[in-house]
Amino acid sequence: MRRCSRSGCTELAVATLTYVYADSTAVVGPLATQAEPHSYDLCTAHAHRLTAPRGWEVVRFEGEFAPPQHSSDDLTALAEAVREAGRADRAVEPVPASGTGRRGHLRVLPGPSED
The whole-number pLDDT of residue 61 equals: 82
Report the run of H or E that residue 81 belongs to, with start and end.
Answer: helix 72-86
Sequence letter at residue 71: S
Q: Where are the domains of the chain?
A: 1-88
Quick check: 106 pLDDT over 60?
A: no
Q: What is the pLDDT of residues 24-56, one digit of tens each?
A: 999 999 888 888 888 999 999 999 999 999 999
Question: Of 88, 81, 90, 22, which is closest to residue 56 (Cα–Cα)?
Answer: 22
- CB-based contacts of 50, cutoff 8 Å, min separation 6: 17, 26, 28, 42, 58, 60
Q: What is the pLDDT of residues 65-85, one digit of tens each?
A: 776 665 556 555 656 665 665
Alpha-carbon dihedral 93, 99, 102, 105, rounded to 10 degrees: 110
CA distance 111 to 99: 9
Q: Sorting pLDDT into bands at 50, 70 and 90, what band is 103?
A: very low
DSSP letter assigned to residue 47: H
The rounded Cα 54 to chain-centroid distance in angstroms is: 27
CA distance 39 to 8: 18
